[in-house]
Chain A
Amino acid sequence: MRRVVVSRDTIIKQKFEVLFREHFTGLCYFARKYTGDLDSSKEVVHSVFIKLWENRHAFDWEKPAKSYLFTSVYNRSLNYIRDKKRFINRGDLTDPMHVDEAAYNDHLETAELESLIASSLQHLPEKCRKVFEMSRFEGKKYAEIAEHLDISVKTVETHMSKALHILKEALKDYLMVVVLLMLKNMNRW
Chain B
Amino acid sequence: MAMATENKHMDPAGLLPKIFSGEATPQEEQLVHDWLVTDPSHQKEYDDFAKIWDITAGFTEPGTIDVNAEWRKLMTTLTPARKISPRLMHITRIAAAVVLVSALAFYGLLQSGKQVNAPRSSTLAATLPDGTRVTLNAGSRISYKKGFGYSSRNLVLDGEAYFEVRKNEELPFVISAGEARVKVTGTMFNVKAYKKKPEIKVSVSEGSVMLYKTQQPEVQTQLVAGETGTFNNALGVMKKYISLNSNDIAWKTRIIDFKNTPLQEVAEILTNTYHQPINVDDAILHCVITVHFENQELDSILGVLQSTLDLSISTKGKRRIISGKGC
Contacts and interface: CB of A to CB of B under 8 A. Distances in A.
Contacts of B60: 137
B242 A2 contact: yes
Contacts, number: 111
Contact of A20 (B16, B49, B56, B74): B74
B51 interface: yes
Contact of A25 (B48, B55, B65): B65
B14 A160 contact: yes
A161 B11 contact: yes
Contacts of A24: 65, 67, 70-71
A2 B61 contact: no
Contacts of B226: 2
A53 B77 CA distance: 11
A17 B71 contact: yes
A160 B17 contact: yes
| Main SS at interface, chain A | helix
Size bin of chain B's contact surface: 35 or more
Contacts of A17: 71
Interface in B23-56: 23, 48-49, 51-56
B317 interface: no
A43 to B, nearest CB: 11
Interface string B1-28: 0000000000101111110010100000
Interface in A1-41: 2, 4, 9-10, 13, 17-18, 20-22, 24-25, 28, 38
A121 B52 contact: no
A4 B11 CA distance: 52
B61 A175 contact: no
Interface string A44-80: 0010011001000000000000000000000000000
Given A46-B73, A157-B14, A161-B11, A135 B21 contact: yes
Question: Interface centre among B52, B57, B67, by most A CB within 10 Å?
Answer: B52
A38 B60 CA distance: 12
Nearest to B68: A21
A28 B56 CA distance: 17
A62 B65 CA distance: 28
Question: Interface centre among B64, B65, B77, B217, by most A CB within 10 Å?
Answer: B65
B63 A164 contact: no
A26 to B, nearest CB: 10
A142 B74 contact: no
Contacts of B59: 114, 117-118, 121, 136-137
B52 A168 contact: yes
B14 A118 contact: no
B213 to A, nearest CB: 11
Contact of A53 (B48, B57, B78, B218): B78
A118 B17 contact: no
B64 to A, nearest CB: 6
Contact of B169 (A9, A139, A189): A9
Given A122-B62, A133-B62, A182-B54, 18 more contacts: A2-B226, A4-B224, A18-B218, A20-B67, A22-B218, A25-B65, A46-B77, A118-B62, A122-B63, A139-B21, A157-B15, A158-B14, A160-B17, A161-B14, A164-B49, A164-B53, A179-B51, A189-B58
16 contacts: A2-B226, A4-B224, A17-B71, A20-B74, A50-B77, A118-B62, A122-B62, A136-B17, A136-B59, A141-B21, A160-B14, A160-B17, A162-B13, A167-B52, A168-B48, A175-B48
